[in-house]
Amino acid sequence: GRGARNWSSPFANAATHGRAQGQAEDLAARDCDGHGTHIAGTLAGTTVGVAPNARIHPARVLDCDGDGRASDVVAALDWCAGHVRYNRALKSPTGNADDADAHPAVATLALGLMAGARSVAMERAVVQFIRRTGVLVVVAAGNFRDADACDVSPARVAPALTMGASDATDRAYAYGATGACVDAWAPGVDVVSACGGARRCGDDVGDDSRYDSTYVSQSGTSMAVGHGAGAAALLL
């Protein structure tokens, strides 16, 4: 828990939101969409976060419409790996870049596309990142109705922890991929978390006095990633 790092590679930007402010190490990657901010709030927000003591390192690879290129994801993973190893070497008593205890971390990939020629390089990069750092990578099953997560990238990458989304009755999210490649399930329907970017703040948060106009409700397997990564951070 305390001091665990989350390397939020392709997450738009995480944690420029007021409820997550102070959790982010680097705010260079601004969130113009709000997707990453919402996930960051679930992961490490002071009010709604699963692991409020975790620190977030954002790396934006998607544009304001949530679109991007696999090559940008590959570059982000390489950047994250370099920083993980640098921080380990800096904090390890022996200067060992492989000392996982010196810099515990979790990485997230809250995105997805149907697997194919375009996804091969990204999948290889995820595997290489895990081998290079030993860091757990938490990925989304993908928002593809009636799809098998084994046909979605990076959800089908075996070493990653693939999160499926469930609703309040523990049923699978209607628009989420399912199947054997889903490793774990977490709340992903009508999740209230930090609002940022172009999202309409204050939408559908109900009458709960804990939530003001800086919160928003969203659904998707990406929301499950925030819960899964937060839970993993608590165990580090």
Q: Which domains does the chain show, CATH number per domain? A: 5-235 (3.40.50.200)
Distance CA 55, CA 105 (A): 9
- pTM of the prediction? 0.86
pLDDT digits (tens, 9 = 90+) for 48-64: 999 999 999 988 888 88
**pLDDT tens column, 10-59:** 433 333 333 444 444 544 557 777 889 999 999 999 989 999 999 999 88
- Across the strands, what pairs with 109? 139
The predicted pLDDT at position 141 comes to 98
What stretches in the chain show pLDDT beneath 50? 2, 9-24, 26-27
Q: Which residues, 6+ apart, have CB-to-CB distance to 170 below 8 Å?
A: 185
pLDDT of residue 19: 43
